């Protein structure tokens, strides 16, 4: 449920453009408002350049940063006046845009500014929020969503049909807003929402008020419809689900690790079970990603098992999934060949990131636990979007060509380069016996430092728990003198 998190006393502690840190963090608290490493916010400020001259600066979230955890250095300074000069050009390629913006940076070194920097620059507002909130996508990812949204917001709304982010979208949005001076927000079809304000606080409240209107309107529709067409399957009991997963997951992990090691994450929460058991869910899942931001982490579509929870056995499910992973790989390779126009481009991992099993839950895959969890988190957002959109009409997504152009777009994939680099044991699982102390503990620490996901086992349960906690803290905070002799030196 949407909640107003703005506190004047807390906001007052953030001076200058650090107010963006506060706004970003409270927007990022709610996963229904912001995607993992997605969305961006900005503010325009008077600042001093390197030799003391006053200049107008756009501060915008850096590409690959996450709103929830954003800090001071995540907001990149861009000289505003030089960027505005791009507006009069007829075309600006992605490569030209990136190179041009690099010359406009106020700080050295600096992160790369958001791929939506031109959109933030071309709009005349002091503060702008660009989110991929579920509530906005209920209309942006709905056939006929424009009419629903315009009926709801009337002259407060500007609707912009789908364009891939970049110069053309930025200019299109700016021109559309100029034609409607009373507008308070923009819905970007198949993409997200723009809101704004004179101050950081006003901008935040504008975002929240708009999303609340969407939420209220769609919830009225949801009460009159069967969620996902009603239940097709029933959720199996906890012990039965666990027994099935224990038998199935090793084979699935092996199947999706044919080209690189992968780690799996399991989710059988209520929203997931409602979706995997839904009558209409399989067809909805085939439509495509609910938002461009999801594609890099979830791929265009998940794999939805045909297995019947009531009558199927664990062996039947295992055989289906192992075969299905190879078929998914072949289909993905065909998709890549169909749309790839760059001979130098390398195909990504062709196995599914999301596997849906009726009666059991959702399994997500990634090269690390973090990326597997990110895929899970983003598909939760997709479930919520499909739930809201399908309650009003027909859920829609990017077409296959549009999806490919986002999934393999260098500027979208750039955020992946901001993740920690792979280590020798990234994606591998190490089970270490006797790891509460001594050699076993040192081995566990070293494996963890090299990127492995480590299972610590020992007859000394409390010692194993302590070892796990200390090794984790060393990875996060770095080694300490007190524990370096006991656990080795992960470096």
What whole-number distance in Å separates Cα of residue 94 and Cα of residue 152? 35
Which pLDDT score is estimated for 109?
A: 86
What whole-number distance in Å separates Cα of residue 280 and Cα of residue 233? 11
pTM of the model: 0.87
Which pLDDT score is estimated for 291?
A: 86
Which pLDDT score is estimated for 485?
A: 36
Q: Using DSSP bridges, classify how beta strands 157-160 and 127-131 pair: parallel, antiparallel or unpaired.
A: unpaired
The encoded tokens of residue 433 equal 């016996």
Beta bridge partners of 265: 364
Which pLDDT score is estimated for 478?
A: 67
What whole-number distance in Å separates Cα of residue 338 and Cα of residue 360? 34
Averaged pLDDT, groups of 10, the chain, 491 residues long: 92 94 95 86 94 94 90 95 95 93 92 92 97 94 94 95 93 96 95 96 97 89 76 94 96 94 95 96 94 88 94 94 97 96 90 97 93 93 93 92 90 69 87 94 94 93 94 77 36 26
Q: Do 426 and 454 form a contact (C-beta atoms < 8 A)?
A: no
Domains defined for the chain, CATH in brackets: 8-222 (3.40.225.10), 238-417 (3.40.225), 429-487 (no CATH)
Please, which contacts does 266-272 make with residues 24 or more away whose CB atoms are closer than 8 Å?
Answer: 266/361, 266/362, 266/363, 267/361, 267/362, 267/363, 267/364, 267/376, 267/380, 268/235, 268/241, 268/360, 268/361, 268/362, 269/361, 271/380, 271/383, 271/384, 272/361, 272/362, 272/380, 272/383
């Amino acid at each position: 449920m949407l909640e107003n998190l703005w506190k004047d006393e807390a906001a007052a502690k953030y001076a200058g453009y650090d107010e963006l840190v506060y706004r970003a963090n409270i927007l990022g608290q709610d996963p229904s408002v912001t995607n993992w490493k997605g969305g961006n916010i900005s503010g325009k400020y008077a600042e001093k350049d390197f030799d003391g001259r006053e200049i107008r600066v756009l501060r915008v979230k850096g590409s690959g940063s996450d709103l929830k955890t954003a800090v001071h250095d995540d907001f990149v300074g861009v000289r505003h006046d030089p960027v505005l000069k791009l507006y009069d050009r007829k075309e600006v390629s992605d490569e030209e845009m990136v190179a041009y913006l690099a010359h406009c940076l106020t700080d050295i070194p600096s992160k790369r500014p958001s791929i939506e920097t031109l959109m933030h620059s071309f709009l005349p507002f002091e503060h702008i929020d660009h989110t991929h909130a579920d509530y906005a996508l209920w209309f942006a990812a709905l056939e006929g969503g424009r009419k629903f949204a315009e009926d709801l917001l009337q002259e407060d709304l500007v609707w912009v049909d789908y364009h891939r982010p970049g110069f053309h979208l930025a200019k299109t949005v700016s021109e559309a807003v100029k034609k409607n001076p009373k507008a308070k927000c923009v819905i970007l079809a198949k993409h997200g929402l723009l809101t704004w304000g004179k101050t950081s606080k006003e901008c935040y409240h504008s975002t929240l008020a708009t999303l609340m209107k969407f939420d209220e309107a769609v919830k009225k529709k949801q009460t009159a419809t069967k969620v996902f067409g009603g239940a097709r399957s029933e959720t199996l009991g906890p012990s039965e689900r666990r027994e099935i997963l224990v038998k199935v997951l090793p084979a699935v992990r092996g199947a999706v690790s044919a080209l690189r090691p992968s780690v799996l994450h399991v989710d059988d929460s209520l929203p997931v079970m409602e979706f995997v058991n839904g009558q209409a869910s399989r067809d909805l899942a085939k439509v495509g990603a609910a938002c461009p931001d999801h594609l890099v982490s979830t791929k265009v579509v998940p794999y939805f098992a045909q297995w019947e929870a009531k009558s199927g056995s664990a062996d039947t499910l295992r055989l289906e999934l192992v075969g299905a992973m190879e078929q998914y790989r072949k289909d993905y390779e065909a998709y890549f060949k169909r749309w790839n126009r760059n001979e130098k481009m390398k195909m990504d991992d062709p196995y599914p990131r999301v596997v849906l099993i009726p009666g059991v839950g959702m399994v997500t895959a990634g090269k690390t636990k973090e990326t597997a969890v990110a895929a899970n988190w983003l598909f939760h957002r997709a479930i919520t979007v499909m739930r809201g959109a399908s309650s009003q009409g027909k859920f829609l997504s990017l077409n296959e060509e549009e999806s490919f152009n986002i999934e393999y777009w260098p500027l979208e994939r750039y955020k992946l380069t901001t993740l920690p680099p792979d280590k020798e044991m990234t994606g591998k699982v190490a089970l270490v016996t006797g790891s509460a102390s001594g050699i076993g503990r040192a081995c566990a620490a070293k494996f963890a430092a090299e990127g492995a996901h480590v299972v610590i086992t020992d007859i000394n349960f409390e010692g194993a728990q302590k070892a796990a906690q200390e090794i984790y803290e060393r990875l996060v905070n770095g080694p300490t003198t007190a524990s370096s002799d006991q656990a080795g030196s992960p470096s």
